[in-house]
Structure 1
Amino acid sequence: MRRKIYIGASIFIAVLMVAGVFLSLPYYVSKPGMAKELEPIVQVENGYEAEGSFMLTTIRMGRANIYSYLQAKLFDYEEIYPLDAILHETETQEEYNARQLHMMSGSKQNAIGVAYNRAGFSIEYKYNGVYVVQVIPEMPADGKLLPGDRVIKVDDQQFSSSEEFIKYVGGKKANEEVILTIKRKNKTKKVKIIVQPFKDDSNKVGIGITLVDDKEIITNPKVTVNTDEIGGPSAGLMFTLEIYNQLMEEDFTRGYRIAGTGTIDSKGNVGPIGGIDQKVVAADKAGAEIFFAPNEKGKSGSNYRVAVKTARDIDTKMKIVPVDVFDDAVNYLQKLPKKER
């Protein structure tokens, strides 16, 4: 009898342990990630080398299980978010991942454009089609297109912008067919889709996708930014600094290990990001000596102010520097004395 009770208890505990790992809760958990040197990731053809380094910072974000949820409750700098704080309405995990990767792509393009323009180099853009960010449920594209697909042609016609694509498809009549040429995981295929009215506006027709332009930036000298599966726009500022530094003979690192975060737009404006405190922790662990943080024009609760508080709380010697535009970071670095070895 005791043996049966022991075996039963062991099985019950084992089931609980498995459930703790594999049972997803309706939350996401984020925690400090890593600070990664950008020189191996960003490569400008015949670019200049640096004595120091620029680093992007990340957070680790994932669906919560029982263990990660409890851990986030117990430890500092780990946050719990409800699903609707991360996913848009009706958005799937796959669509969220595609959105994050697209934002990273846009961030890289803005970074290249700002760095090359600031360094005095010209750039050009090549339009490749449209990029599917989300597929609307129960619309014609549902089950035929996936987030991340690139639509190259419609009815064998190419377009120079997503606006032209929308105008062409929207000009069809309900129940008309369009043939999309798409690229998915480096394979090209054709997909037939019947145009239907939108549920919230029966006077408009479409296939039911949200989309953005898929553009390729052309530079001389060439530049490659290999981010693999890193998503989101928050590395924009640091990408811009690394590209600019490789384009310029002057070494703006001055021999320091420099981390930071912040979005970058096409005009060089630096925007706020989420998880700034976790990124400060990651940068400190990686030995960063300087950390650039979005200043948000000095408003209360800005990324910069949170970063300063976090640096004080973790007792780091890392210098937190506020930036509103790309030039703020460059001007700070130009005045920085070269690090003594």
Structure 2
Amino acid sequence: MLRRVITLFAAFALLVGFGVAGMYLPVPYLVASPGITLNTIGEDPDGGPIIRIDGEDHYEHDGGLSMVTVQYSGGPSTRMDLFTVLSAWLSPSQAVLPEEALFPPDRTVEEISEAQSVQMNDSQTNATAAALTQLGIDYDTRALVAGVGEDLPAAGAIKEGDIITSVDGDPVDSKEEVVEKVGDRTPGDDVEVGVDRDGTEETVTLTTVEGDDGTPIIGVLVSNDMDFPMDVEISVGDVGGPSAGLMFSLGIMDRLSQESLTGGHRIAGTGTITPDGEVGAVSGVEQKMVSAAREGAEYFFVAAGACPQTFDSAATGEIEVVKVGELGDAVDALDAIRTGDGLDALPRCEPN
């Protein structure tokens, strides 16, 4: 009898031991936590402006137009243990995600980091374009060939760095125009493409092929090369991704405007931006709202597509959420906040 008791006790202890040990085994999950906030009309850690403008009169104003971030812990090279992940799952301000959400298995960490840097650079360019458009300041755009696919019609005929100037004789000055004009045909049709190569104009005739989505393509990656009448430099350190585009645009506008956009109020927000000012939804809004509330923001701007996330945040009810669909909506909301006129009519997120 005693031997049986001892055996059962030993088995129980072994089971508990395995259970405790299992709690500290690394698991393929990420933890998303509230990250840092950066006031785009404020100063960087070195004491200089986060948004620096050269070649145009610019101004400094009180208030805040803050971008907010999410801090991710874990990953293929720094996996967390199960105990830490479970603790985060129980936290109202954190979220647990599968590792693949940020680190797809077919991409290296270096590739992901590089892609995020490119997205950040693109968001700054798009933000500058959107801000200047909103202010009525003209700038030039060119359709730059950023890459040429192998074994596709453009290979050997068009080179990276070329500027596409026309499609079938019609002038084009943006990526969107090139895509639209090439796509307005049936795969197998010919298309004449005019290019500027180091100042020399050339015209090539290519036969389109069917792309992965069924649309006709010629095999070039085109980006918008924008020539602004001023230099805009944004310094945010190692932060990557496209989600600060909206707040960059507002920050640039505030720098270029004699009158403050905020009237001294503190605003935070998140959302991508296109050159024409369309605001896109991003993830991590739940954690970003917590960051904004902790920093004392009064209002939080968010794209309409991200509205459902705002009701799942630990900061829900602690900060006023304003829904924006385009940059002009954000500017109108700032006008209401600054003047106090029309606050009740600010667009809000509605629960499903």
| TM-score, length basis structure 2 | 0.62
CA distance in 2, matches of 1:215, 1:269: 16
**1:325 matched to which residue of 2?**
326
Give the superposed CA RMSD: 3.6
Q: Which deviations, in whole Å up to 9, do the C-alpha atoms of 1:108-166 show, x marking residues without a partner?
A: 1111101011112122357887489xxxxxx9xxxxxxxxxxxxxx9997433799xxx
Question: CA 1:242–1:156 in 2, change beyond 3 Å: closer, same or farther?
Answer: closer
1:65 matched to 2:66: no
1:1-341 alignment to 2 at 5 Å?
25-39=27-41, 40-45=49-54, 46-62=57-73, 63=75, 64-66=79-81, 68-125=84-141, 130=146, 158-160=161-163, 217-296=226-305, 303-308=306-311, 310=313, 313=316, 315-316=317-318, 318-338=319-339
Q: Is the 8 A contact 2:92 2:313 kept in 1?
A: no
1:222-279 alpha-carbon deviations (Å, 9 max, x no partner): 2111233211111111011101111122211110111000111122111111011100
Unpaired stretches in structure 2, ≥5 consecutive residues:
1-16, 42-48, 151-156, 165-174, 179-211, 213-218, 341-352
| Distance in 2, Cα, partners of 1:155 & 1:222 | 30
Residue 31 of structure 2 aligns with an amino acid whose one-letter code is V
The 2-side partners of 1:270 and 1:252 are apart by 18
Aligned in 2, Cα 1:157/1:214: closer, same or farther, shift over 3 Å?
A: closer
Task: Give the structure 2 partner of residue 169 of structure 1.
Answer: none
Equivalent position amino acid for 2:266 in 1:
R
- Given residue 72 of structure 1, which amino acid in structure 2 is its aligned partner? A
5+ long unaligned stretches in structure 1: 1-11, 133-138, 140-153, 164-199, 201-209, 297-302
> Are residues 127 and 228 of structure 1, via their aligned partners in 2, closer, same or farther at CA, if it must alter by over 3 Å?
farther
The size of the alignment, in residue pairs, is 251
Tell me the distance in 1 between the aligned counterparts of 2:110 and 2:70.
19
**Could you tell me which residue of structure 1 aligns to residue 197 of structure 2?**
none
C-alpha distance 157-245 of structure 1, shift in aligned 2 (>3 A) = closer
How far is 1:282 from its partner?
0.5
- Rate the CA distance shift 1:155–1:320 in 2: closer, same or farther, 3 A: closer
For 1:49 and 1:307, the matched residues in 2 are separated by 31
> After TM superposition, where is structure 1 displaced by more than 6 Å over at least 4 residues in a row?
126-129, 154-157
Q: Distance in 2 between matches of 1:41 and 1:264?
A: 18
Cα distance in 2 for partners of 1:321, 1:289 equals 11
Residue type matched to 1:284 in 2? A
Which amino acid in the other structure matches residue 97 of structure 1?
A: S
Q: CA deviation at 1:211?
A: 9.7
The CA distance in 2 between the partners of 1:24 and 1:213, in whole Å, is 42
Q: Which amino acid aligns with 2:227?
A: I
- Which amino acid in structure 1 is aligned with residue 307 of structure 2? Y
The TM-score with structure 1 as length reference comes to 0.63
Q: Secondary structure at the match of 1:250?
A: coil
Percent identity for Structure 1 against Structure 2: 29
Partner amino acid, structure 2, of 1:83: E
Deviation string 1:154-191 (CA, Å, 9 cap, x unpaired) is 9997433799xxxxxxxxxxxxxxxxxxxxxxxxxxxx
1:308–1:320 CA contact under 8 A, matched in 2 = no
- Secondary structure (helix, strand or coil) at the match of 1:252 reads coil
- 2:293·2:315 contact (CA, 8 Å) conserved in 1? no
Could you tell me how far apart the structure 2 residues matched to 1:24 and 1:270 are? 38
